[in-house]
Amino acid sequence: MSEHNQELGIVGLGKIGGNLAKQAVEKDIRVVGFDTEDRSDLADEGVEVHDAGEYDTLVEELDTPRVVYLSLPAGDLIDSELDSLLEVLDEGDVVMDGGNSFWRDSMRREERAWDEGVYYLDTGTSGGPPRASEGACFMVGGREEGFEIAEPYLDTLSVDGGLLHVGPPGSGHFVKLVHNGIEFGMLQSIAEGVELLKSGQFDVDMADVFHNWSNGAVIESWLVKLMELGLRKEDQQSDAPDFEDIPNYIEDTGEVNWLVSEAYKGETPIPVISQSVTELFKSRGQQRHAYRAIALMRHGFGTHPFGEDDAIRQERFSGRVDNEARHDLRDADDMDPVGPLADEDA
Protein backbone atom coordinates (compact mmCIF):
# COMPACT_ATOMS: atom_id res chain seq x y z
CA MET A 1 0.00 0.00 0.00
CA SER A 2 1.37 3.41 -0.99
CA GLU A 3 1.93 6.14 1.58
CA HIS A 4 -0.04 8.45 -0.73
CA ASN A 5 -3.81 8.66 -0.48
CA GLN A 6 -4.10 8.84 -4.26
CA GLU A 7 -2.13 7.25 -7.10
CA LEU A 8 -2.51 8.04 -10.79
CA GLY A 9 -1.06 6.61 -13.97
CA ILE A 10 -0.47 9.08 -16.81
CA VAL A 11 0.39 7.89 -20.31
CA GLY A 12 1.87 10.74 -22.33
CA LEU A 13 3.87 13.37 -20.45
CA GLY A 14 3.80 16.17 -22.99
CA LYS A 15 2.38 19.66 -22.62
CA ILE A 16 -0.87 18.58 -20.94
CA GLY A 17 0.06 15.25 -19.37
CA GLY A 18 3.35 16.56 -18.03
CA ASN A 19 1.77 19.60 -16.41
CA LEU A 20 -1.04 17.52 -14.94
CA ALA A 21 1.62 15.20 -13.52
CA LYS A 22 3.46 18.10 -11.90
CA GLN A 23 0.26 19.50 -10.46
CA ALA A 24 -0.69 16.08 -9.12
CA VAL A 25 2.66 15.60 -7.39
CA GLU A 26 2.39 19.07 -5.86
CA LYS A 27 -0.98 18.00 -4.43
CA ASP A 28 0.44 14.77 -2.98
CA ILE A 29 -0.87 12.43 -5.67
CA ARG A 30 1.66 9.77 -6.56
CA VAL A 31 2.15 9.71 -10.35
CA VAL A 32 3.44 6.78 -12.36
CA GLY A 33 4.07 8.23 -15.81
CA PHE A 34 4.91 6.81 -19.22
CA ASP A 35 6.41 8.53 -22.24
CA THR A 36 8.51 7.81 -25.32
CA GLU A 37 10.79 10.77 -24.57
CA ASP A 38 13.31 11.40 -21.82
CA ARG A 39 11.36 13.23 -19.11
CA SER A 40 14.07 13.45 -16.48
CA ASP A 41 12.83 16.98 -15.80
CA LEU A 42 9.60 15.51 -14.47
CA ALA A 43 11.47 12.81 -12.58
CA ASP A 44 13.36 15.57 -10.79
CA GLU A 45 9.99 16.93 -9.64
CA GLY A 46 8.79 13.63 -8.21
CA VAL A 47 7.05 11.97 -11.16
CA GLU A 48 7.94 8.29 -11.51
CA VAL A 49 8.78 8.13 -15.22
CA HIS A 50 8.87 4.89 -17.21
CA ASP A 51 9.24 4.04 -20.89
CA ALA A 52 5.99 3.98 -22.84
CA GLY A 53 4.42 0.55 -23.02
CA GLU A 54 5.87 -0.80 -19.77
CA TYR A 55 2.38 -1.31 -18.42
CA ASP A 56 3.27 -4.32 -16.29
CA THR A 57 5.02 -1.73 -14.14
CA LEU A 58 1.82 0.28 -13.92
CA VAL A 59 -0.09 -2.75 -12.67
CA GLU A 60 2.59 -3.54 -10.12
CA GLU A 61 2.95 0.03 -8.85
CA LEU A 62 -0.69 1.13 -8.54
CA ASP A 63 -3.26 -0.18 -6.10
CA THR A 64 -6.68 -1.22 -7.36
CA PRO A 65 -8.89 0.18 -8.65
CA ARG A 66 -6.24 1.72 -10.88
CA VAL A 67 -6.91 5.05 -12.59
CA VAL A 68 -5.00 5.83 -15.79
CA TYR A 69 -5.15 9.11 -17.73
CA LEU A 70 -4.20 9.07 -21.43
CA SER A 71 -2.76 12.34 -22.73
CA LEU A 72 -2.15 11.35 -26.34
CA PRO A 73 -2.98 12.64 -29.83
CA ALA A 74 -6.32 11.51 -31.20
CA GLY A 75 -6.31 8.60 -33.62
CA ASP A 76 -5.01 5.06 -33.89
CA LEU A 77 -2.50 5.60 -31.09
CA ILE A 78 -5.36 5.70 -28.58
CA ASP A 79 -6.59 2.33 -29.81
CA SER A 80 -3.17 0.69 -29.67
CA GLU A 81 -2.39 1.99 -26.18
CA LEU A 82 -5.84 1.02 -24.94
CA ASP A 83 -5.33 -2.51 -26.27
CA SER A 84 -1.99 -2.73 -24.46
CA LEU A 85 -3.52 -1.49 -21.22
CA LEU A 86 -6.46 -3.88 -21.41
CA GLU A 87 -4.02 -6.78 -21.55
CA VAL A 88 -2.82 -5.99 -18.02
CA LEU A 89 -5.58 -4.04 -16.24
CA ASP A 90 -8.13 -5.71 -13.99
CA GLU A 91 -11.90 -5.50 -13.85
CA GLY A 92 -12.96 -2.28 -12.16
CA ASP A 93 -9.92 -0.25 -13.27
CA VAL A 94 -10.49 3.07 -15.06
CA VAL A 95 -8.96 4.50 -18.24
CA MET A 96 -9.54 8.18 -19.06
CA ASP A 97 -8.92 9.58 -22.55
CA GLY A 98 -7.99 13.20 -21.94
CA GLY A 99 -7.35 14.07 -25.59
CA ASN A 100 -9.57 15.47 -28.32
CA SER A 101 -10.88 12.17 -29.66
CA PHE A 102 -13.92 11.99 -31.93
CA TRP A 103 -16.82 11.12 -29.65
CA ARG A 104 -18.00 8.19 -31.76
CA ASP A 105 -14.49 6.71 -31.51
CA SER A 106 -14.79 7.11 -27.74
CA MET A 107 -18.12 5.28 -27.69
CA ARG A 108 -16.57 2.39 -29.60
CA ARG A 109 -13.56 2.30 -27.26
CA GLU A 110 -15.82 2.33 -24.22
CA GLU A 111 -17.57 -0.79 -25.48
CA ARG A 112 -14.18 -2.41 -26.13
CA ALA A 113 -12.98 -1.63 -22.60
CA TRP A 114 -16.22 -2.66 -20.93
CA ASP A 115 -16.01 -6.07 -22.58
CA GLU A 116 -12.98 -6.51 -20.29
CA GLY A 117 -14.73 -4.98 -17.29
CA VAL A 118 -12.66 -1.78 -17.47
CA TYR A 119 -14.32 1.62 -17.25
CA TYR A 120 -13.51 4.03 -20.08
CA LEU A 121 -14.15 7.72 -19.54
CA ASP A 122 -13.95 10.21 -22.41
CA THR A 123 -12.47 13.11 -20.50
CA GLY A 124 -12.53 16.37 -22.41
CA THR A 125 -9.77 18.52 -20.95
CA SER A 126 -9.62 22.29 -21.40
CA GLY A 127 -7.30 25.06 -20.33
CA GLY A 128 -4.10 24.13 -22.13
CA PRO A 129 -0.74 23.72 -20.38
CA PRO A 130 -1.22 26.78 -18.11
CA ARG A 131 -4.40 25.41 -16.55
CA ALA A 132 -3.11 21.82 -16.53
CA SER A 133 -0.43 22.99 -14.12
CA GLU A 134 -2.83 24.97 -11.92
CA GLY A 135 -6.32 23.53 -12.26
CA ALA A 136 -7.91 22.25 -15.46
CA CYS A 137 -11.48 21.98 -16.72
CA PHE A 138 -12.79 18.44 -17.28
CA MET A 139 -15.91 17.33 -19.19
CA VAL A 140 -16.41 13.62 -18.59
CA GLY A 141 -18.55 11.03 -20.35
CA GLY A 142 -18.93 7.45 -19.19
CA ARG A 143 -20.58 5.13 -16.73
CA GLU A 144 -21.49 6.61 -13.38
CA GLU A 145 -19.61 3.95 -11.42
CA GLY A 146 -16.40 4.62 -13.33
CA PHE A 147 -16.74 8.36 -12.88
CA GLU A 148 -17.15 7.91 -9.13
CA ILE A 149 -13.81 6.09 -9.01
CA ALA A 150 -12.02 8.79 -11.02
CA GLU A 151 -13.83 11.76 -9.48
CA PRO A 152 -11.48 12.32 -6.50
CA TYR A 153 -8.49 12.60 -8.85
CA LEU A 154 -10.24 14.91 -11.30
CA ASP A 155 -11.64 17.01 -8.47
CA THR A 156 -8.12 17.51 -7.10
CA LEU A 157 -6.72 18.45 -10.52
CA SER A 158 -9.56 20.73 -11.64
CA VAL A 159 -10.26 24.37 -11.00
CA ASP A 160 -13.22 25.13 -8.73
CA GLY A 161 -16.37 24.40 -10.74
CA GLY A 162 -14.34 22.85 -13.55
CA LEU A 163 -15.44 19.22 -13.23
CA LEU A 164 -18.62 17.88 -14.82
CA HIS A 165 -19.90 14.37 -15.43
CA VAL A 166 -21.76 15.18 -18.62
CA GLY A 167 -23.48 11.84 -19.20
CA PRO A 168 -23.04 8.52 -21.02
CA PRO A 169 -20.02 7.37 -23.04
CA GLY A 170 -19.11 9.82 -25.79
CA SER A 171 -20.82 12.82 -24.21
CA GLY A 172 -17.66 14.22 -22.63
CA HIS A 173 -15.77 14.40 -25.90
CA PHE A 174 -18.89 15.65 -27.70
CA VAL A 175 -19.21 18.57 -25.27
CA LYS A 176 -15.47 19.25 -25.53
CA LEU A 177 -15.78 19.35 -29.32
CA VAL A 178 -18.62 21.88 -29.10
CA HIS A 179 -16.40 23.85 -26.68
CA ASN A 180 -13.63 23.87 -29.29
CA GLY A 181 -16.06 25.10 -31.92
CA ILE A 182 -17.10 27.99 -29.69
CA GLU A 183 -13.41 28.70 -29.07
CA PHE A 184 -12.82 28.96 -32.83
CA GLY A 185 -15.67 31.44 -33.21
CA MET A 186 -14.37 33.57 -30.34
CA LEU A 187 -10.84 33.55 -31.75
CA GLN A 188 -12.13 34.65 -35.14
CA SER A 189 -14.22 37.53 -33.78
CA ILE A 190 -11.32 38.86 -31.70
CA ALA A 191 -9.01 38.50 -34.69
CA GLU A 192 -11.38 40.51 -36.87
CA GLY A 193 -11.32 43.20 -34.21
CA VAL A 194 -7.54 43.27 -34.51
CA GLU A 195 -7.90 43.60 -38.28
CA LEU A 196 -10.16 46.62 -37.77
CA LEU A 197 -7.79 48.21 -35.25
CA LYS A 198 -4.78 47.74 -37.51
CA SER A 199 -6.50 49.01 -40.66
CA GLY A 200 -8.39 51.89 -39.03
CA GLN A 201 -7.53 55.57 -39.24
CA PHE A 202 -6.32 55.80 -35.62
CA ASP A 203 -2.87 54.81 -34.42
CA VAL A 204 -3.94 52.97 -31.27
CA ASP A 205 -1.76 50.95 -28.92
CA MET A 206 -3.28 47.49 -29.27
CA ALA A 207 -1.79 46.18 -26.04
CA ASP A 208 -3.38 49.06 -24.14
CA VAL A 209 -6.70 48.44 -25.88
CA PHE A 210 -6.71 44.76 -24.94
CA HIS A 211 -5.71 45.62 -21.38
CA ASN A 212 -8.66 47.98 -21.23
CA TRP A 213 -10.99 45.31 -22.61
CA SER A 214 -9.70 42.88 -19.97
CA ASN A 215 -11.02 45.04 -17.15
CA GLY A 216 -14.78 45.26 -16.92
CA ALA A 217 -15.65 45.19 -20.62
CA VAL A 218 -18.49 43.00 -21.89
CA ILE A 219 -15.96 41.06 -23.98
CA GLU A 220 -13.54 40.55 -21.08
CA SER A 221 -12.14 37.00 -21.35
CA TRP A 222 -9.00 34.90 -21.06
CA LEU A 223 -8.53 35.11 -24.83
CA VAL A 224 -8.64 38.90 -24.74
CA LYS A 225 -6.09 38.84 -21.91
CA LEU A 226 -3.87 36.48 -23.91
CA MET A 227 -3.84 39.00 -26.76
CA GLU A 228 -2.56 41.67 -24.39
CA LEU A 229 0.07 39.34 -22.90
CA GLY A 230 1.17 38.27 -26.37
CA LEU A 231 1.57 41.82 -27.58
CA ARG A 232 3.54 42.69 -24.44
CA LYS A 233 5.44 39.34 -24.42
CA GLU A 234 4.58 38.69 -20.79
CA ASP A 235 3.86 35.60 -18.66
CA GLN A 236 3.08 32.50 -20.78
CA GLN A 237 3.43 34.66 -23.90
CA SER A 238 6.99 35.76 -23.11
CA ASP A 239 8.37 33.73 -26.02
CA ALA A 240 6.03 35.25 -28.61
CA PRO A 241 7.66 36.97 -31.60
CA ASP A 242 6.90 40.54 -32.59
CA PHE A 243 3.35 40.70 -33.91
CA GLU A 244 4.40 41.58 -37.46
CA ASP A 245 6.79 38.60 -37.50
CA ILE A 246 4.14 35.99 -36.64
CA PRO A 247 3.54 33.64 -39.60
CA ASN A 248 -0.02 33.86 -40.86
CA TYR A 249 -0.17 30.07 -41.28
CA ILE A 250 -2.33 28.59 -38.49
CA GLU A 251 -2.06 24.89 -37.67
CA ASP A 252 -4.88 22.95 -36.04
CA THR A 253 -5.58 19.29 -35.34
CA GLY A 254 -8.81 19.29 -37.33
CA GLU A 255 -11.33 18.28 -34.69
CA VAL A 256 -13.62 21.27 -35.31
CA ASN A 257 -13.89 20.07 -38.92
CA TRP A 258 -15.63 16.98 -37.48
CA LEU A 259 -18.10 19.20 -35.65
CA VAL A 260 -18.92 21.12 -38.82
CA SER A 261 -19.34 17.86 -40.74
CA GLU A 262 -21.70 16.44 -38.13
CA ALA A 263 -23.67 19.69 -38.05
CA TYR A 264 -24.15 19.53 -41.81
CA LYS A 265 -25.34 15.92 -41.55
CA GLY A 266 -27.91 16.95 -38.97
CA GLU A 267 -28.82 20.16 -40.81
CA THR A 268 -27.83 22.20 -37.76
CA PRO A 269 -26.78 25.71 -38.82
CA ILE A 270 -23.52 26.86 -37.23
CA PRO A 271 -22.44 29.71 -39.53
CA VAL A 272 -19.92 31.35 -37.18
CA ILE A 273 -18.08 28.13 -36.34
CA SER A 274 -18.16 26.99 -39.97
CA GLN A 275 -16.73 30.28 -41.17
CA SER A 276 -14.03 30.25 -38.49
CA VAL A 277 -12.82 26.89 -39.83
CA THR A 278 -12.82 28.32 -43.35
CA GLU A 279 -10.74 31.24 -42.14
CA LEU A 280 -8.10 28.81 -40.86
CA PHE A 281 -7.94 27.31 -44.33
CA LYS A 282 -7.55 30.80 -45.79
CA SER A 283 -4.75 31.59 -43.33
CA ARG A 284 -2.58 29.07 -45.11
CA GLY A 285 -2.41 31.22 -48.19
CA GLN A 286 -2.78 34.89 -47.19
CA GLN A 287 -1.02 37.45 -45.02
CA ARG A 288 -3.47 39.20 -42.69
CA HIS A 289 -3.27 40.67 -39.22
CA ALA A 290 -6.29 38.60 -38.13
CA TYR A 291 -4.45 35.34 -38.67
CA ARG A 292 -1.46 36.57 -36.69
CA ALA A 293 -3.84 37.46 -33.86
CA ILE A 294 -5.38 33.97 -33.84
CA ALA A 295 -1.92 32.38 -33.85
CA LEU A 296 -0.85 34.60 -30.95
CA MET A 297 -3.85 33.68 -28.77
CA ARG A 298 -3.61 29.97 -29.62
CA HIS A 299 0.04 30.03 -28.59
CA GLY A 300 -0.96 31.58 -25.29
CA PHE A 301 -3.52 29.01 -24.19
CA GLY A 302 -2.14 25.89 -25.86
CA THR A 303 1.50 26.67 -26.71
CA HIS A 304 0.46 25.92 -30.28
CA PRO A 305 3.32 26.62 -32.72
CA PHE A 306 3.73 29.66 -34.89
CA GLY A 307 3.63 28.54 -38.51
CA GLU A 308 3.54 25.03 -39.95
CA ASP A 309 4.04 21.86 -37.91
CA ASP A 310 4.24 18.40 -39.49
CA ALA A 311 3.05 16.50 -36.40
CA ILE A 312 -0.06 18.64 -35.99
CA ARG A 313 -0.85 18.38 -39.69
CA GLN A 314 -0.61 14.59 -39.41
CA GLU A 315 -3.05 14.55 -36.48
CA ARG A 316 -5.46 16.71 -38.48
CA PHE A 317 -5.73 13.96 -41.08
CA SER A 318 -5.58 10.91 -38.80
CA GLY A 319 -7.15 11.95 -35.48
CA ARG A 320 -10.65 10.70 -36.31
CA VAL A 321 -10.58 6.92 -36.63
CA ASP A 322 -14.32 6.40 -37.14
CA ASN A 323 -15.08 8.45 -40.23
CA GLU A 324 -18.63 7.20 -40.50
CA ALA A 325 -21.35 7.34 -37.87
CA ARG A 326 -21.35 3.87 -36.30
CA HIS A 327 -23.42 4.80 -33.27
CA ASP A 328 -25.98 7.28 -32.12
CA LEU A 329 -25.43 9.03 -28.81
CA ARG A 330 -27.22 6.95 -26.23
CA ASP A 331 -29.33 8.25 -23.40
CA ALA A 332 -28.15 7.14 -19.99
CA ASP A 333 -31.51 5.43 -19.39
CA ASP A 334 -31.04 3.37 -22.55
CA MET A 335 -27.67 1.95 -21.49
CA ASP A 336 -27.85 -1.65 -20.37
CA PRO A 337 -24.86 -2.89 -18.37
CA VAL A 338 -22.69 -5.25 -20.41
CA GLY A 339 -19.43 -7.01 -19.79
CA PRO A 340 -17.92 -8.93 -16.89
CA LEU A 341 -19.03 -6.40 -14.26
CA ALA A 342 -22.69 -6.40 -15.30
CA ASP A 343 -25.26 -7.53 -12.78
CA GLU A 344 -26.70 -10.81 -14.06
CA ASP A 345 -30.16 -9.64 -13.05
CA ALA A 346 -29.82 -6.26 -14.79
Domain locations in the chain? Answer: 6-169, 175-318
**CATH classification for the domain delimited by 175-318, as one of 3.40.50.2300, 1.10.3720.10, 3.30.360.10, 1.10.1040.10:** 1.10.1040.10
**CA distances for 101 relative to 94, 169, 177, 334, angstroms:** 17, 12, 9, 23
The CATH number of domain 6-169 is 1.10.540.10: no
Per-residue pLDDT tens, the chain, 346 aa: give them: 455 579 999 999 999 999 999 999 999 999 999 999 888 889 888 899 898 788 998 899 999 999 999 999 999 999 999 999 999 999 999 999 999 999 999 999 999 999 999 999 999 999 999 999 999 999 999 999 999 999 999 999 999 999 999 999 999 999 999 999 999 999 999 999 999 999 999 999 999 999 999 999 999 999 999 999 999 999 888 899 999 999 888 888 889 999 999 999 999 999 999 999 998 888 887 767 888 999 999 999 888 888 888 888 888 878 778 755 434 433 444 444 333 333 434 3
pLDDT at 4: 58
Cβ(311)–Cβ(72) under 8 Å?
no
| Crossing angle of the two packed helices 255-265 and 171-199, in degrees rounded to 10 | 110
Residue tagged active-site, from 110, 116, 183, 315: 183
CA distance 237 to 28: 29
pLDDT at 326: 38
Same fold, 6-169 and 175-318: no
- Say whether 279 is catalytic: no
- Say whether 151 is catalytic: no
**What torsion, rounded to 10 degrees, do the Cα atoms 138, 252, 78, 68 define?**
-30
Q: Is 103 helix (H, G, I), strand (E, B) or coil?
A: helix
CA distance 251 to 73: 15
Among candidate residues 109, 56, 125, the one with its CA nearest the CA of residue 87: 56
CA angle 124, 328, 117 (to 5 degrees): 65
Cβ(20)–Cβ(71) under 8 Å?
yes
Q: Is 137 helix (H, G, I), strand (E, B) or coil?
A: strand
Residue tagged active-site, from 22, 81, 110, 176: 176
Residues whose CB is less than 8 angstroms from the CB of residue 313 and which lie 6 or more positions away in sequence, other chains included: 251
